Amino acid sequence: MLGTTADYFRQYRYARTRGLELAGGRVFEDVYDAVLGADVARELRYGLGQAFAVAHGAVDADSAMHRDKPYRVVGILKRTGTPVDRTVHVSLAGFVALHLDWESGVRVPGAAVSAEEARGEDLTPRSINAFLVGLDSRTAVFHVQRFINDFRPEPLLAILPGVVLQELWDAIGVAEGALLAVSGLVALVGLCGMVTALLTGLNERRREMAILRSVGARPRHILALIVGEAAALTATAIALGVAGLYVALFVARPVIQTRLGLYIAIGPPSEYEWMLLVAVLLASVIGGLWPAIRAYRYSLADGMTVHL
């Protein structure tokens, strides 16, 4: 359960720029209003207007239940694929009202406060666990972080999600390097298979090459023919691979975002990726030189001879 304010639903962002949206209902207004995440509403089968009580994680569930102050579902959020889907959102005032007669997770004997009596109490929270800060200037991020961490009147800790995620990616960089190596091996095997296919096909095309030479084809023509064929095959494979990747990304992105909460940004290939694609294309040109040289070396007489 999360105690927050109505501004949370307007300011919270996930997947970079996407905001929270209601599948139904409204944001809480009353002390005992609640807005449910999509998973909570689905798994508990709660709908708008449903009353429910929350409990502490204790063995004796009845003693840990806040039955005297039930909440009412006034809104259900659309699925985001983030922890928001598994959260019950209530107002800060409602969270304070819930614990007026509780202390350290235990009900205080003889200090019962009814739900209506709690409305007349001062429900301003004495403290909050966390808050989100957004800055208009990126250059001020580290200055604000240092100011918060060095703030003496209150022990605070400022965390930059982007920096934490970057540290996470650095930690799994070994796995990324291993996947890149595997991709390189796959490309190498594919190029070897293409060169092998060209070499094998030369035996069936010896007469073709001989005829081309007999009508005046120069060495560079034969070379360009075989190398161009290798480059065309590789370029076609690259185009189909890139097209298939983007189709898969567009199809899988909403599913991954909904199921795992991971947002996949889709954009044109980066400069580094273009370099890799060009390197594969150049490798195919270099690989095609071997079959091209062998094709030229076939003599005219050998090419015109019928082999049985």
Domain closes at, from 108, 132, 156: 132
Kindly report the average pLDDT of the chain as a whole number. 82
Q: Render pLDDT for 201-227 as a digit per residue (tens, 0 to 9).
A: 777 776 777 777 777 777 777 778 888
Residues 259 and 185 in one domain: yes
The torsion angles phi and psi of 238, rounded to 5 degrees, stand at -65, -45
Non-local (6+) Cβ contacts of 132 within 8 A are: 8, 11, 12
pTM over 0.75: no
Q: Which two tokens stand for residue 280?
A: 């594969």
Residues 193 and 162 in one domain: no
Residues 155 and 56 in one domain: no
Percent of the chain whose predicted confidence (pLDDT) is above 90: 16
Residues 27 and 81 in one domain: yes
Mean pLDDT value across residues 252-277:
80
Domain closes at, from 171, 194, 221: 171
Mean pLDDT value across residues 77-83:
86
Q: Render pLDDT for 155-188 as a digit per residue (tens, 0 to 9).
A: 888 887 777 667 777 777 777 788 888 888 988 8
- The yes-or-no verdict on residue 58 having pLDDT over 60 is no
- Residue 121: CA atoms inside 13 Å, Cβ hemisphere, count? 19
Reduced DSSP (H G I as helix, E B as strand, rest coil) percent helix, strand, coil of the chain, to 5: 55, 10, 35
Confidence band of 105 (pLDDT split at 50, 70, 90): low
Residues 152 and 63 in one domain: no
Residues 64 and 143 in one domain: no
Look up the domain containing 49 and give its range. Answer: 2-132
Residues 158 and 192 in one domain: no
Residues 255 and 159 in one domain: no
Decide which of 191 and 199 is more confident.
191
Residues 64 and 156 in one domain: no
Residues 208 and 106 in one domain: no
Least confident of 217-221, 231-235, 240-244, 301-305: 301-305
Residue with tokens 């798994």: 43
Percent of the chain whose predicted confidence (pLDDT) is above 70: 88
Domains identified in the chain, total number: 3
The torsion angles phi and psi of 248, rounded to 5 degrees, stand at -65, -40
Mean pLDDT value across residues 257-269:
74
Residues 97 and 218 in one domain: no
Q: Which of 100, 119, 121 is nearest to 32 (CA)?
A: 119
Domain closes at, from 132, 150, 185: 132
Residues 257 and 270 in one domain: yes
What is the reported pLDDT for 243? 93
Mean pLDDT value across residues 229-245:
90
